[in-house]
Chain A
Amino acid sequence: MISFERFELSNGLRVIVHPDFTTPNAVLNVMYDVGARDEDPDRTGFAHLFEHLMFGGSVNIPEYDEPLQRAGGENNAYTTNDLTNYYIQLPAVNLETAFWLESDRMLSLAFSEKSLEVQRKVVCEEFKEHYINKPYGDVWHKMRSLAFTKHPYRWMTIGKELKHIEEATLADVKAFFKKHYCPANAVLVVAGPVKSADVRELTEKWFGDIPSGVKYNRQLPVEPEQTAARRLVVEADVPLDALYMCWHMPGRMEAGYQAVDMLTDILGSGASSRLHQSLVKEQKLFSNVECFHFGSTDRGLLTIEGKLVKGVTLEAAEQAIQKEIDKILQEGINEAELQKAKNKTESMIAFEDMSLMNRATSLAHYELLGDANMMNTEFARYAAVTTEQLMEQAVNIFRTENMNVMQYRAKTAGV
């Protein structure tokens, strides 16, 4: 049971306090309700580029990192398709430094040309390092644009192309800040050896006078129901053929999400999962195979991916996966498999909750989804899932017309 208190400032900033007096450290976490899905299709990668700029100095504080390091703190941030999160861990006695820094950059940034110029380059190098200069690095660019036709999940957080990042202007940066970075669109979590009353006082002091801003009204294009299987063949300079299969699945808050989460676990997570046992160990068709999903807020993708053993054809590999799926659809899932998935989930949650930082981030995320207390009720939702509900999801998801297949072929030149 994670205990917390929740209140809201008059400017709309939602605040959660999670006291834990067993640690000398404190965490301050600010989650903004903006991710890559909120970008203009012609300006992709912007939410993430913007995250970098948040470290380029704020209106009253020229250097963000330095005073924090001086206070013995560390910080980082990440952007997903759904949200942007900033977190600080520091000795609890210096907690106010975190309030000072985070509130000033919520108030306003320095908007420096130099910072934009440098971070454009840094992000371009990040793009190259992870998505161009790596074998299979472009897989998710291609798969997302295959599986999504309208919804902005069709691009990755890093952006569709380097050009979008290179062309970002300071005017874009300012407009983005104004639209998304304000108390009305943020959740603040403070965790550590803190009293709720003290956090209230500090929050009022540092965040209280920041103008509320306009609550962002998200109206994203809805992905139309897929009506026919989609296929893509890619050839690239990689050593092994690989296969990627994706099906649309429920969003984070939809009924069935927990069932699907456990379905992916049963199929393809861990050395005793169905796909690993059958396709890697018994049939030796794949050198690795996984089933997972992205935990995305809107309707996302259940994915099966793997690299093929040399000599196995992509067609045979796909058939073998389909056979495993058919087996589930025809023979069902047994109680022991479901119980295993529940046990793994219980254990995973307990390990995650060991860390103060994870607890703070989870609270912020659940609050953004609608209610921080889901942190305490989520496991019950998993525990209540039945094999019938798993089957209902399996039947609905694994329809041919809901499927996207990418064959990633190794160029055979010279072999």
Chain B
Amino acid sequence: MSIDRMIAPKIVDAVDFELSLPKVGTFTLRNGVPVYAFNGGAEEVMSVEWVFWSGNSYESMNLEAATANFLLRNGTSKRTAFQINEFFEYHGAFLQRNCYNETATLSLHGLSKHMDTLLPVVRELIVDSVMPADELATYVQNMKQRLSVSLKKCDFVAGRLIDTYLFGEDHPYGRYTKAEDFDLLNSEQLLSFYDRYYRNGEFMLFVAGKLPANFREQLDRYFGDLPNKKVDRPLHAIQPATQHRYRIENDPNGVQGAIRIARPFPNRTHPDFQPAMILNTLFGGFFGSRLMSNIREDKGYTYGIHSYLMNLMQSSAWMISTEAGKDVCEATIQEVYKEMRVLREELVDEEELSLVKNYLMGSLLGDLDGPFQIIGRWKNLILNGCTDEYFYQTIRIIKSITPEQLRTLSAQYLREEEFYELVVI
């Protein structure tokens, strides 16, 4: 049978899919801690994540939150850091901790059969960490060394500076790490942060994977008696920079420049946020985007260029990010502005828009594959104060958005003069 390879097979437009976000089970522990659980997957594995309101926004001095979070695994009154690590690793489990702007987390991935053994030790970390001074000293020394390496990288330097322009150096989103900040840290003060925001702190739980039949009882047994005292959400003032154009030389021998172009943007509860996500996809949010097609695939100025709306709770930003050859940095920036201008002035044609819509729907479907992805999406909704209605609204907007709406949005937000522009070589 001979086939005509010029003719594409028929497709079902992804934009016509009826996507649904699988429901999570919710319940509360006896201390009121909310638990979100998704049971599923073929493998005998699961994850538990403890999300505390103990991120950078709560610290009284720089690095306090991140360091307290890091040291959670480095010693209790009964176990040394080595014994803790040995215990989890022996059971083939991965215990990670991460500190973000508002929240900080402990997350445990492991075989479902070991959960009963592992959970009491996680409890021990939450109620009985001692933040040993020698562990702190090693951490400080190694982090300062790591920082000295990072500061040699133009992308790292650019990433810090652009956040400062957007939010101000005193805002948790714009504050960055200096070597001397590490020297001010001490165990007592970290313990006091830990006591307030972990031992007594407010938290919630996200659980996913093959869940043992008694996992509710297990969680309640080990975490249902913790104080879970409500934590006031602080609100920090944003102080954006007045100067908009920056050129920094970080490495005299650099062969590339890190380019960041960004503007403030409201957070995800603003009615323009979801439409802007779609506009962003078309502009620089996927491989077929205008920025990628023009600046990588047509001009070859860069290995990759991306734009995105930052996932920040209080207030977001619209960011364009790339590393380009030193001699084509300025040309790259001009092309970015050109693409903004085209979006402000010309209507996107229906064919391009339908491609973006199909791509977005397909990738939504792809992202919902598996229990960890599903709980991750729920977590993002819940932490931002949304429900699954937000998910369905996103889909409605993807399906219905028009070229005119995109042009209006572009005219409102993609204005060159409102962007900060930075090149670090």
> Shortest Cβ distance from A286 into chain B, in angstroms?
9
Asked whether B372 lies within 8 Å of A354 as measured between CB atoms, the reply is: yes
B362 contacts A74, C-beta separation under 8 Å:
yes
Task: Tell me the chain B residues, 244-290 only, with Cβ under 8 Å from chain A.
Answer: 251, 253-256, 286-288
| A334 interface residue per 8 A CB criterion | no
Q: Which one of A132-140, A176-184, A366-374 is at the B interface?
A: A132-140
CB <8 Å contact, B149 and A272: no
> Does A104 belong to the interface (CB within 8 Å)?
yes
Q: How many interface contacts (CB-CB < 8 Å) are there between A and B?
A: 217
Asked if B41 is at the interface of the complex by the 8 Å CB criterion, the answer is yes
Task: Tell me the A43-94 residues at the B interface (CB within 8 Å).
Answer: 59-61, 65-67, 69-74, 89-91, 93-94
Complex interface: stretch among B30-38, B217-225, B292-300, B333-341 = B292-300
> CB distance B325 to A125 under 8 Å?
yes
| B92 A343 Cβ-Cβ under 8 A | yes
Complex: A208 Cα to B324 Cα, angstroms: 43
Closest beta carbon of chain A to B218's beta carbon, Å:
19
Q: Which residues of B contact A66 (CB under 8 A)?
A: 288, 355
The size class of the interface chain B forms with chain A is 35 or more
Nearest CB to that of B152 among chain A residues?
A135
Q: Within B92-107, which residues are at the interface with A (CB < 8 Å)?
A: 92-94
Looking at B60-68, B137-145, B163-171, B413-421, the stretch in contact with chain A turns out to be B137-145
Interface window among A22-30, A290-298, A317-325, A383-391: A22-30
Whether the Cβ atoms of A133 and B43 lie closer than 8 Å is: no
Given contacts A60-B6, A237-B253, is CB(A91)–CB(B365) below 8 Å?
yes
Report yes or no: B142 in contact with A121, Cβ–Cβ below 8 A.
no
A107 partner, pick from B5, B14, B324, beta carbons under 8 A: B5
Cβ–Cβ contact B324 & A125, under 8 A: yes
Whether A287 sits at the interface, judged by CB under 8 Å, is: yes
Among candidates B42, B111, B355, residue contacting A69 with C-beta atoms closer than 8 Å: B355
Chain B residues near A97: list those with CB within 8 A.
8-9, 11
Partner of A60, one of B2, B5, B369: B5
Flag whether B85 is at the interface (Cβ < 8 A).
yes
Instruction: Flag if A344 contacts B255 (CB, 8 Å).
Output: no
A271-B73, A348-B92 are contacts. A72–B14 as well, Cβ < 8 Å?
yes
> Which residues of B lie under 8 Å from residue A346 when comparing CB positions?
92, 111
Report the minimal beta-carbon distance from A56 to chain B, rounded to whole angstroms.
9
Complex Cα distance A346/B94, Å?
12
Nearest B-chain residue to A76, judged by Cβ: B287
Q: Are the CB atoms of B43 and A117 closer together than 8 Å?
A: no
A71 contacts B256, CB within 8 Å?
Answer: no
Which chain B positions have C-beta within 8 A of A339? 90
Residues of B within 8 A of A350 (CB): 43-45, 111
B138 in complex: contacting residue of A69, A237, A281, CB < 8 Å: A281
With the chains together, A159 CA to B202 CA distance in Å? 52
Which residues of chain B are near A347, meaning CB under 8 Å?
A: 45, 91-94, 109-111
Q: A120: which of B82, B300, B356 is its contact (CB, 8 Å)?
A: B300
Closest-CB distance, B154 to chain A (whole angstroms): 7
Closest to B253 in A: A237
Whether A121 pairs with B301 at a CB distance below 8 angstroms is: yes
Bound Cα distance from A24 to B351, whole angstroms: 25
**Which residue on A lies nearest to B91, using beta carbons?**
A343
Smallest CB gap from A90: residue in B: B362
B288 neighbours in A (Cβ, 8 Å):
65-66, 69
- Chain A residues, Cβ within 8 Å of B204: none
- Of the listed residues B6, B81, B93, B366, the one surrounded by the most CB atoms of chain A closer than 10 A to its CB is B366
In whole angstroms, what is the CA distance A207 to B81 when docked?
A: 56
CB interface residues, A 338-381, toward B, < 8 Å: 339-340, 343-348, 350-351, 353-356
Contacts of A100 in B (CB 8 A): 5, 8-9
Q: Tell me which of B300, B361, B370 contacts A355 (CB under 8 A).
A: B370
Check: B160 CB closer than 8 A to any chain A CB.
no
List, in ascending order, chain B residues with CB within 8 A of A284's CB: 138, 141
Task: Assess whether B390 is interfacial by the CB under 8 Å rule.
Answer: no
**Bound state CA distance, A74 and B354, in angstroms?**
16
Question: Is A239 on the interface with B (CB-CB < 8 A)?
Answer: yes
Chain A, residues 9-42, CB within 8 Å of chain B (1/0): the string is 0000000000010111100000000000000000
> Chain B, 338-373, contact with A by CB distance < 8 Å: what is the 0/1 string?
000000000000000011101101110110011110
In the complex, are the beta carbons of A104 and B145 less than 8 A apart?
A: no
Are the C-beta atoms of A72 and B90 separated by less than 8 Å?
no
Query: Which residues in A have some Cβ–Cβ distance to B below 8 Å?
Result: 20, 22-25, 59-61, 65-67, 69-74, 89-91, 93-94, 96-97, 99-100, 103-104, 107, 117-126, 128-129, 132-136, 205-206, 209, 237-240, 270-272, 277, 280-281, 284, 287-288, 307, 309-310, 336, 339-340, 343-348, 350-351, 353-356
Q: Which 9 A/B pairs are nearest by Cβ-Cβ distance? A: A72-B362, A121-B300, A347-B92, A72-B14, A343-B92, A272-B85, A96-B9, A271-B85, A60-B5
21 contacts between A and B (CB under 8 A): A20-B42, A22-B42, A23-B370, A61-B8, A65-B287, A65-B288, A70-B358, A71-B11, A91-B14, A96-B9, A100-B5, A118-B299, A120-B300, A125-B325, A133-B251, A239-B152, A272-B86, A288-B146, A309-B141, A343-B91, A344-B89
Q: Apart from A118-B296, A125-B256, A340-B90, what 19 extra A-B contacts exist at CB < 8 Å?
A: A59-B5, A65-B287, A67-B8, A69-B287, A70-B355, A72-B361, A72-B363, A91-B366, A122-B297, A133-B254, A135-B153, A206-B3, A237-B152, A284-B138, A287-B142, A309-B145, A347-B111, A350-B43, A354-B371
Binding site for A on B (CB under 8 A): 1-3, 5-6, 8-12, 14, 17, 41-45, 73, 81-82, 85-86, 89-94, 109-111, 138, 141-142, 145-146, 148-149, 151-154, 251, 253-256, 286-288, 296-303, 323-325, 354-356, 358-359, 361-363, 365-366, 369-372
